Structure 1
């Protein structure tokens, strides 16, 4: 029964995120916000909502290993596997604004997280600091969007404002309900098999909560919207660390598993290597995409065997 409830939970998470993204993106289009900014903010927040629901619920329930590993696992899945799959499907040019501002912020967020868990504990004050960083990042991004408005394509008319708001509310309800189901049943499965919450968080839960990012980025990549595809992934990773962990630990401090230090180091190295490659080449091609997919497969085998 717990397997069925886990799948039901993922369904509510994904459909909830889908409604939230559609409603939020429609409002953003009405406000003439650039596509890249939509990917970095509205879509990134919407597709990261499952991670938020799971990590915050897990933190409140005292499942610290699941709360932290879900964020780290999701970020690795987002950056390494999703970007790799998108590049294999359709190579894309890297948006310069993402490289100048957003990618470095994603790396900095991971470094700050590593510093915070050096003592295997994230306090409320550290959580509030992460939230402050998120607020500053959003302010800078929104100001940039206001200074560079774009004309909306009239053939791609968004939902009316009232319909968009209904979608957002329905999406949030689905996300919260799904988050509770996933956390409760993922912990039950881990206990039944004698597996650690950290392993479950890095694998099943991380992949499940990252499905919205995967679907959104692949769809955007097929349509040639590389700004939305990469922006969604980078924005989600920033949101996961600064907002989700920030809010989770502000509500309830989180104790980290020692292996989390290794996983965060892997995340920092992966993010930095992809950033350097993108700076040098200014393009993600199929070769680099394949390399990313292979690297993620190697990481998955490592965490299962360790």
Structure 2
């Protein structure tokens, strides 16, 4: 029964995110909000809403391993598997501004998280944890990122055409209903995923951290995968890369910041390897992006194969 509920939960998360993004994008276009702001916020944050629902829900229930493991696992999956697959399908062009600002900000966010969880080494505390004070720091950095997005919107990198900002078909009431229904499905789906995955973890003797890094992380990252693959097939590389970068920033700063405000999140020592790997992947993404501002098929294959090796490693590690 737990497996059926897990699948149902993932379906609700994916479809809920789809409806939420569609409805919110429709509202934004109807209100003539600049398209670039829609892409950097609604698309990236909308596809991260399943991670938010699962991690915040897990924090409320005290399942800290799932809350933190989900974010770290999702970020690793996004950069290695999602970027890898999309680059193999179609080499990804990366904007200069993304290379100069957004990917480095993702790297900074990852390093900040590593510093905040290093209580034993840095402050000689008995345990490593993300406290409410740490959560406020993460949310403060998230506010800086949002301010940056506002600046981008006000000084758009390219002029929007009338077609881009054309009013979407259908009433704004319909779009609001889509958004609310999608958000409801995300919240309920997140609840189901947390409950069922915890049951499965206990049945197999798996730790909550491992289940968060694997099943939950992959399941909640499906919207990013679907969005990026479709964008790559349509040769819209900026959306594919921007979606991943924005989602990873949102995962670390907003989701973990909010989750740790609800309850202090304890950190298993073995998660430091995964944290360092997440930073390494972000650095690798920056390096690949700087070479002719493109992620090639060969680089995509490297990312994909490395993720498969990582999955084998953490399952054997338990």
TM-score normalised by length of structure 2: 0.92
Structure-2 separation of matches of 1:106 and 1:212: 19
Shift of 1:163: 2.1
Secondary structure in structure 2 of the residue aligned to 1:41: helix
Gaps of 5+ in 2: 120-127
| Stretch moving more, 272-281 or 226-235 | 272-281
| Stretch moving more, 164-173 or 230-239 | 164-173
Structure-2 separation of matches of 1:248 and 1:55: 7
Q: 1:39·1:227 contact (CA, 8 Å) conserved in 2?
A: no
Q: Does 1:194 align with 2:209?
A: no
User: Aligned Cα RMSD in Å?
Assistant: 1.5
2:267 maps to what in 1?
A: 256
Q: 1:32·1:152 contact (CA, 8 Å) conserved in 2?
A: no
Structure-1 separation of matches of 2:287 and 2:298: 16
Q: Does 1:169 align with 2:180?
A: yes
Q: 1:75·1:237 contact (CA, 8 Å) conserved in 2?
A: yes
Secondary structure in structure 2 of the residue aligned to 1:281: coil
Q: Counterparts in 2 of 1:32-181, with a 5 A limit?
A: 32-35=33-36, 37-119=37-119, 120-148=128-156, 150-153=160-163, 158-159=168-169, 160-181=171-192
Shift of 1:27: 3.0
Q: 2:92·2:241 contact (CA, 8 Å) conserved in 1?
A: no
Q: 2:29·2:165 contact (CA, 8 Å) conserved in 1?
A: no
Gaps of 5+ in 1: none
| Stretch moving more, 105-114 or 23-32 | 23-32
Shift of 1:134: 0.8
Shift of 1:235: 0.2
Secondary structure in structure 2 of the residue aligned to 1:74: helix
1:278 maps to what in 2?
A: 289
Q: 2:9·2:189 contact (CA, 8 Å) conserved in 1?
A: yes
Shift of 1:228: 0.8
Structure-1 separation of matches of 2:244 and 2:67: 20
Q: 2:34·2:165 contact (CA, 8 Å) conserved in 1?
A: no
Secondary structure in structure 2 of the residue aligned to 1:150: coil
Q: 2:76·2:278 contact (CA, 8 Å) conserved in 1?
A: yes
Structure-2 separation of matches of 1:104 and 1:38: 21
| Stretch moving more, 196-205 or 18-27 | 18-27
TM-score normalised by length of structure 1: 0.96
Structure-1 separation of matches of 2:245 and 2:66: 22
Shift of 1:214: 0.4
